[in-house]
A and B are shown apart, each in its own frame.
Chain A
Amino acid sequence: QQPVQSPQAVILREGEDAVINCSSSKALYSVHWYRQKHGEAPIFLMILLKGGEQKGHDKISASFNEKKQQSSLYLTASQLSYSGTYFCGTENSNSGYALNFGKGTSLLVTP
């Protein structure tokens, strides 16, 4: 089941904050966040597990809400380098073997 990401696209000024959401119609076991620059491969950002705590590094963090079957990625004080497309990949159980990816959220940070 492909997760649903929102918004589809967002434009920010440098220094502004953004939130990207990833929702599933089924219970989530884990959520994996990636960022992809144009013409490049997706790069891993972080994994969140059911029952785990909020994660983050630098000014990018994420949360996992089991009840809402949703994860959110928070980008604070955005930098130009944050521009790209963000994907969430989900697993609905520990026995699954492949991640299901959303359609992505395009983020553009302008000077």
Chain B
Amino acid sequence: NAGVTQTPKFQVLKTGQSMTLQCAQDMNHNSMYWYRQDPGMGLRLIYYSASEGTTDKGEVPNGYNVSRLNKREFSLRLESAAPSQTSVYFCASRYRSGQTSTDTQYFGPGTRLTVL
């Protein structure tokens, strides 16, 4: 069981370049999430997918797009990277059963992105 995996671990982009961050989970979770983490700002939700086939905006969606490719995979795309998108990006997944006492959310190891 690998849990939540993310690729790449590190990336440096130039302003205007595009890239896709990949995320996969092998826990049969229905919900998946993308967060960004900046110093002093905590974890801010970019987009989420409550179930396969659905995606919704979070708190800071501008400049990003997402694709829920299948139940396992949820990718985040930066179409035209900007220095303000320099951050650590975490993917997470969770099984929403309606019994919240067991609905633990698990995080991937993160992608450290620098936009020059």
A residues with a Cβ closer than 8 A to B are 2, 29-30, 32, 34, 40-44, 47, 49, 52, 87, 89, 91, 94, 97-104
Contact = CB atoms under 8 A, between A and B. Distances in A.
Contacts of B33: 98
A98 B100 contact: no
Nearest to A102: B42
B106 A44 contact: yes
A89 B108 contact: no
Interface of B: 31, 33, 35, 40-45, 48, 50, 56, 58-59, 90, 96, 98, 100-101, 103-110
A47 B109 CA distance: 21
26 contacts: A30-B100, A32-B104, A42-B43, A42-B90, A43-B107, A44-B104, A44-B106, A47-B100, A47-B103, A49-B100, A49-B101, A52-B101, A89-B43, A91-B100, A97-B31, A97-B48, A97-B50, A97-B96, A98-B58, A99-B45, A99-B105, A100-B45, A101-B42, A102-B42, A103-B40, A104-B42
A43 B108 CA distance: 10
Nearest to B104: A44
Nearest to B45: A98
